[in-house]
Amino acid sequence: MYFVYVLKSEQRNYIYVGLTNDLERRIKQHQEGKSSTTRSYRPFVLVLTEKSELRLEARNREKYLKSGSGKEWIKLQIK
């Protein structure tokens, strides 16, 4: 099982979209600052999660959510 997830910084205007096969582990890594991309935006709130059995399907969804229109869609979902 693969997860596409969206994190929102609690202190800054930052949204991160990621893909993993172990959601709990990956969120923990972000919160602990083990990912250089997100380290300075901690702490995070998990605002969206989508499951997929196929990695390719999850990767395509992740790519969409990282696009401009995908980010706009996310903002509408989390209001």
CATH number at residue 26: 3.40.1440.10
Q: At residue 79, does pLDDT exceed 90?
A: no
What is the rounded distance in angstroms from the CA atom of residue 62 to the CA atom of residue 35? 17
Angle, helices 55-66 vs 68-77, to 10°: value is 90
Domain that holds residue 33: 2-77
Are 52 and 37 a contacting pair, CB within 8 Å?
A: no
> Which pLDDT does position 34 carry in this prediction?
96
- For the chain, the first-to-last Cα distance in angstroms comes to 28
Question: Rounded to two decimals, what is the model's pTM?
Answer: 0.94
Specify the amino acid at residue 20: T
Total domains in the fold of the chain:
1
Q: Which residue has the higher pLDDT, 62 or 79?
A: 62
- Is the per-residue pLDDT at 51 higher than 80? yes
